[in-house]
Amino acid sequence: MGDLPVTGDTAFADPPPRTAPAQEHALPIHGMTVLHVDDRAVVLQLRGDHDLCTRLELRSLLEDLVAANALVVVDLTQAGFVDSTFLDNLTHAHKTACAGGCRLVVQTGQSPSVATALRVSGLLQYLDCVDTREHAISRR
């Protein structure tokens, strides 16, 4: 039998070394970029829609980031839409972060649907939500 081409998912490949501050790591998962602020802080930038289609990848990525960092900022400034599965992932990540000594901060955006989802769900009061990246990073 001949060798079959490898078409596996590379979404969980090892991140690049964290030697330089503010190192950006674009992931093959649509709409997600990890920015390494330093060796213990990252920003997860989310763009576009995050719903059932990105649920599993986002949950796994958040778990990995929370386990490896003291501060994880979830940047929603470019997110267009989030659903209940996304909100569940944020809640799960928050609980995991609290249990593991990590701080999870949500940088809110201007999208009316994202703001409404966070407000109606009560997560604006439950999570550590801020308006700017500088404010989020200062929460260490």
Domain regions of the chain by residue span: 23-137
Strand order in the sheet with 32-38: 23-26, 32-38, 41-50, 71-82, 103-107, 128-130
The two tokens of residue 127 are 């999570």
CB 67 within 8 A of CB 40: no
pLDDT tens readout for residues 40-92: 999 999 999 999 999 999 999 999 999 999 999 999 999 999 999 999 999 99
How does the average pLDDT of the chain come out, rounded? 85
Q: What's 23-137's CATH class?
A: alpha beta
pTM above 0.75, yes or no: yes
